Homo-oligomer: A and B are copies of this chain.
Amino acid sequence: MIETIQWTDDGVVMIDQTRLPNEEIFITCRTSDEVAHAIRTMVIRGAPAIGVAAAMGIALGMQQPDADIESICDTLSKTRPTAVNLFWAIDRMKKLHRSLAGRSAADMRAALAAEAQQIRLEDIAINRAIGQHGASLVPDHKTVLTHCNAGALATAGYGTALGVIRAAVEQGKQIDVFADETRPFLQGSRLTVWELLHDNIPTTLITDNMAGHFLKSGRIGCVVVGADRIAANGDVANKIGTYSVAVLAKENGVPFYVAAPTSTLDLTLASGDSIPIEERASLEVTHYSGTSVAPRGTVARHPAFDVTPNRYVTAIVTEKGIARAPYEQSLAGMLG
């Protein structure tokens, strides 16, 4: 299996997710600015993977003499606004840095590098635990619908939503997957289908606008998606289109599950209304691979995320277990 992100002697190595599935190219970031650039340009994406990348970016930047952690963290924190795992990882690295005040520079560097690698390893273990909890929710002999890519590539490995699917398959459940292509960036067709083909899990690609049709057809047993930020009340920010899938699932009596590590919880926000939604370049909507798919002069919008109100969320699966409504209590309990 291909690694999403690794700490090496040469720097932070990532598979370039903008080039998949046609090319499997690895890039090596040698400075924290290069890591920030990789996050901003979606060489690496997915909330947990962004968190790991930020931690490694800080550790990498701090290997330089006279490095300033505030400046490094400031640059990284401005790469993408929605996924809270980015800020969680930055906070964790800053806290460690403060706790090491007075130690030698060499000790500091080693400790930060070790912490970033530890965050990566923890993320894989967390995803395995999410998979174990979530697999019990997946109906046997049915199809699982997923949106975007919440797989190994969105994390340090194994995946959150795809971790649940992988664990269900490992438990012997006879399931197949429908993957929304997830315009405009096509994380579903380019990344999710690619991952599941590697694992020999039967997968069918559909366009986003087919999800409702198949949810109505009765073949979908449940929906499982990841998350970029979850508010205290259980409102979920995730890739644009998630809200639509959630409404269509509820309308058709299909359970809608969100799989995410507790680092995706942002209990400082009472509801999803205050989650910042990134607006990306409209060029990503009007063009594909440099080719225009719309007339010259087209105006396009590109909110990269949407917010699914908690009433559409059947359960939230974290490494600590399964949370159900009322989420104010169940989510607070998980962090408490």
Interface residues of A (CB under 8 A from B): 21-22, 147, 178, 180-184, 186, 189-190, 193-194, 197, 202-214, 216, 240-241, 243-244, 247-248, 251, 282, 285-286, 288-289, 291-301, 303, 306
Chain B residues with CB below 8 A from A197, complex form: 295, 297-298
The residues of B that contact A247 with a CB separation of less than 8 Å are 212, 247-248, 251
Residue of B nearest to A194 (CB): B295
Point out the residues of chain B lying under 8 angstroms from A303, CB to CB. 210, 213
- Report how far A285 CA is from B243 CA in the complex, Å: 22
Taking the closest CB of chain B, its distance from the CB of A320, in whole angstroms, is: 30
Residues in B neighbouring A289, C-beta threshold 8 A: 288, 291
Report the copy number of this chain in the oligomer: 2
Given known contacts A21-B295, A189-B294, A240 and B205 CB-to-CB distance under 8 angstroms:
no
Residue of A197, A282, A289, A295 most packed against chain B (CB within 10 A): A295
Report chain B residues within 8 Å CB of A216: 243, 306
15 A-B pairs in the complex with CB atoms less than 8 angstroms apart: A22-B292, A178-B301, A189-B294, A189-B298, A190-B293, A193-B294, A194-B295, A204-B301, A206-B300, A209-B244, A212-B247, A213-B303, A247-B251, A251-B251, A289-B291
Contact B300 A205 (CB under 8 A): yes
Q: Are A181 and B183 in contact (CB under 8 A)?
A: yes
Beyond A180-B209, A212-B244, A212-B306, list 13 extra A-B contacts (CB 8 Å): A22-B292, A183-B183, A193-B294, A193-B298, A194-B295, A202-B299, A207-B208, A207-B241, A210-B240, A212-B243, A216-B243, A247-B247, A247-B251
Residue of B nearest to A215 (CB): B244
Min CB gap A153→B, angstroms? 13
